[in-house]
Amino acid sequence: MTATMDTPTGTTPAASTFESLNPANGDVVGVHPIASKADVDAAVARAREAAEWWEALGFDDRANHLLTWRSVVTRRIAQLADISHRETGKPHSDAQLEIAMTIEHIAWAAKHAEKVLGPQKVKSGLLAANQASTVEYKPLGVVGVIGPWNYPVFTPCGSIAYALAAGNAVVFKPSEYTPGVGRWLADTFTEVVHGRPVFQVVTGLGETGNALCTADIDKLAFTGSGATGKKVMAACAVNLTPVIIEAGGKDSLIVDEDADLEKAAEAALWGGMSNAGQTCIGTERVYVHENVFDSFMAEITEQAQGLRADAHPESKLGPITMPKQLGIIKRHIDDAIAKGANVVMGGSDAVGERFVQPTILTHVPEDSTAITDETFGPTLVINPVKSMDEAVELTNATDYGLAGAVFSKKHGVDIARRVRSGMTSVNSIIAFAGIPALPFGGVGGSGFGRIHGPDGLKEFTYAKSITRQKFKPVLLLTTFRRDAKADGKLATIITLLHGGKKTLK
């Protein structure tokens, strides 16, 4: 069977099903329906009804259902990892790691939703001292989630679990490369809620995603490329549906002269090559202080020996999941070499028909596509810098701003603060992704909105402010009976409160 265009499907245009294929060998993993606009609308209508039941359960019952689901996913982790392994090509052990991190998030969202979103007292201020004020965060209703294939469990569940914990129903459109994973997630959750359509899946290609954007949903959480993100925003604009966009990245790992070079090299290698480089928060660029550049290169080259991408069951690197990416990876490598980059490992010939061998380039000109655009392959560009100021400046020079890492004994956190990105790990790699309390998301071309943590829960709610009058105000202002005397008193009070020159310092 041949893959047609950008999709993994070998079906005819009129077909109402598509196949997911194993990228390591082309085997058919599963056949799935292409949900039409009517199918998507029907799923959203079912979700709307289910959302009422789900919201009415309250925080405790919802948490218990989510924690039961967490246990189901945990006990069947090998089953889910196997589907992910076959649909994405990633090593089974990596699939398991991804699911383990997701389980942590489901548990955190379930256990923290009430504390973050439940009614909280706020101070009413001196002018409104007769009022008791609270704020609480109410579910939006039905949340649409559109996911990518590269982390088909972790990434969408960052929206799904948090939206569910906040009291919403979810309709999920998984990537056409990983429909089996999406189906498995929705099916297991549905078992836990005894068949209620609180979390449904609709499978299909881009058109099905577009149908979800224009359906009667209350928010759309999208993870994927920036180019598709723009189409999603345009489609959502029709109904003024708010969106979260989790898009691509071009993250750097910065190595200071006082860094532990062995650890920094280990992190750069894993950050750049794991999941065959198909990681939104993967390391694509490394900026190393020139004083330690040679030592760092010696270290990373040694550690990279023996790392190979192939179909062997024990292989640490799998295939490139999406065939069209192979051309992009090759073009980035070729462009860098044509502009004068040094090839330390791999190179143009590293790009095969399904697999790409680890490639390390140094002294890559900053205007190369390998520096400016997301490569999404097992490639690293490593450039020396004169100072950490230069490392930060170059890091911040792309439009992306997703994540990154800094290795430095003394100045790690200071450097991290200056990097324009949503997340930075200091002296470790992508550690933030496994810390459920930390919000996850980017700036600029990497998108906006946050999943994970308190921000990730609030993202799927609206703030509801309530203020209750406890006793009559000393000065009633919201009345036509207000007279000149009251106006005078107000002027005096407001001058006393705010007319002075006192500042915080």
Q: Which residues bind ligand NAD (CB under 6 A)?
A: 146-151, 155, 173, 175-176, 205-206, 209-210, 213, 223-225, 228, 231-232, 235, 246-249, 280, 322, 374, 402, 442
Q: Least distance (Å) from ligand NAD to the CB of residue 155? A: 4
Tell the residue number behind the tokens 């577009």, with chain if given: 210
Q: Which of 87, 98, 176, 246 is catalytic?
A: 246
Whose Cβ is closer to ligand NAD: residue 24's or residue 255's? 24
First-to-last alpha carbon distance for the chain, in angstroms, is 71
Q: What angle do CA 6, 85, 232 make, to 5 degrees?
A: 40
Active-site entry in 157, 213, 236, 280: 280
Determine how many CB atoms are found less than 10 A away from the CB of residue 385.
21
Of 151 and 432, nearer to ligand NAD (C-beta) is 151
Closer Cβ to ligand NAD, 209 or 347, answer by number? 209
- Between 146 and 185, whose beta carbon lies closer to ligand NAD? 146
Using an 8 Å Cβ cutoff, are 220 and 245 in contact?
A: no
Shortest Å distance, C-beta 118 to ligand NAD: 27
From the number of C-beta atoms within 10 Å of its C-beta (0-12, 13-18, 19+), residue 75 rates as: exposed
- Torsion of the alpha carbons at 490, 495, 498 and 501, rounded to the nearest 10: 180
Q: How far is the CB of 282 from ligand NAD (least distance, A)?
A: 8
Instruction: From residue 27, give the alpha-carbon distance in Å to each of 2, 3, 73, 353, 450.
Output: 11, 11, 26, 15, 36
Q: Which residues contact 362 (CB under 8 A, 6 or more apart)?
A: 297, 341, 342, 344, 381, 382, 383, 384
Instruction: Find residue 356's DSSP bridge partners.
Output: 351
- Of the pair 228, 398, the CB lying nearest ligand NAD is at 228
Give CA–CA dist 245/272, Å, rounded. Answer: 23
Q: How far is the CB of 323 from ligand NAD (least distance, A)?
A: 11
Judged by beta carbon, residue 49 or residue 104, the one nearer ligand NAD is 104
Q: Is 321 or 461 the residue whose CB approaches ligand NAD more closely?
A: 321
Distances (CA, A) of 444 to 224, 247, 428: 15, 10, 24
Smallest gap from Cβ 455 to ligand NAD, in A, equals 14
C-alpha atoms less than 13 angstroms from C-alpha of 313 in its C-beta half-sphere? 1
Tell the smallest beta-carbon distance from residue 388 to ligand NAD (Å): 26
Closest residue to ligand NAD using C-beta atoms:
209
Spell 458-488 as b/e; 16+ CB within 10 A means b. bbbbeeeeeeeeeeeeeeeeeeeeeeeeeee
Instruction: For residue 280, indicate whether it is catalytic.
Output: yes
Minimum separation from the CB atom of position 285 to ligand NAD (A): 14
CB of 217 to ligand NAD, least distance (A): 12
Residue in this structure with the two tokens 């979700």, named with its chain if needed: 47
**246's tokens:** 């989790």
**Distance between CA 269 and CA 499 in Å, rounded?**
59
Cβ–Cβ under 8 Å, residues 464 and 117:
no
- Of the pair 312, 324, the CB lying nearest ligand NAD is at 324
Active site residues: 246, 280
